[in-house]
Amino acid sequence: MNIIIVGCGRVGVELASRLMQSGTNLVVVDNNAQSFTNLPASFEGQTIEGEALNRDVLMRAGIETADGLAAVTNSDAMNAVIGHVAREVYHVPHVVVRNYDPQWRVIHESFKHQLVSSTSWGAQRIEEMLYHADVRTVYSAGNGEVEIYEITVPDAWQGKKVSDVLDSSQIIVTAVTRAGRAILPDAGCVLEACDVVHFGATMEGAQQVKDKMITLEGK
């Protein structure tokens, strides 16, 4: 794959390091040549100094044949415009944009960008870890609006149906694992202590599960 990374700050360097390990053909663009010194010594991709909104810079980066572009500068305005141009003008198949300031998120969403909002997501993950110690996150979709959670069924839930403890419009149960074997449960599935349950939920749904665990364990 041919990937362009716009921005060689901490996120850009880390992304380049990860993609390099998979053998991806990389071009890193930044308007400050000094930033390229942060790339690993083993970096074998191309670096281009210049403004990424300059057509000549984009052409030198190979945007016409790029399979993907990541706009990860610390300027939301720059990332938004670069992402829009890459997708709408050059028809790059995969475009991902970094959201630096959460107040800009609505702007990015209006452009329908594939978006990574590290500040919002990070704050939400910290909140979940503070409030949901028994409800573990194993996968996050989007920017954390919906996540896949994992819980170990407590003794207090022994013999209860899935519908008794995980019935909510904010929750979808995806799997129950018992003795190493997973099943797709229905609402009537009877739980046993130490079962591992995976479910998709909003943060509100995860809190409902946490509250239910506390309530039932207190009885």
pLDDT in tens, 120-166: 777 776 776 676 567 888 888 877 789 899 999 989 899 999 999 99
Domain 2-116 falls under CATH 3.40.50.2300: no
Q: What pTM was estimated for this model as a whole?
A: 0.67
- Given this model, what pLDDT does residue 218 score? 60
Domain ranges of the chain: 2-116, 128-217
Residue 171 · residue 199 · CB < 8 Å:
yes
Question: What share of the chain in percent tops pLDDT 90?
Answer: 60
Comparing 56-65, 86-95, 203-212, the range with the smallest average pLDDT is: 203-212
Token pair 């890193």: residue: 28
- Given this model, what pLDDT does residue 219 score? 54
Look at the domain 128-217 and name its fold. Answer: Alpha-Beta Plaits (3.30.70)
Mean pLDDT of the chain: 89
Query: What tokens were used for 162?
Result: 């899935």
Whole-Å CA distances, 193 to 155, 162, 176, 178, 210: 5, 13, 12, 9, 16
Max Cα-Cα span within the chain: 69
Residue 44 · residue 72 · CB < 8 Å:
no
Is-same-fold flag (2-116; 128-217)? Answer: no
Q: How confident is the model over 24-74, as pLDDT tens digits?
A: 899 999 999 999 999 999 998 999 999 999 999 999 999 999 999 999 999
Strand 181-183's sheet: what is its strand order?
136-141, 146-152, 196-201, 171-178, 181-183
Distance between CA 115 and CA 41 in Å, rounded? 29
Residue 107 · residue 76 · CB < 8 Å:
yes
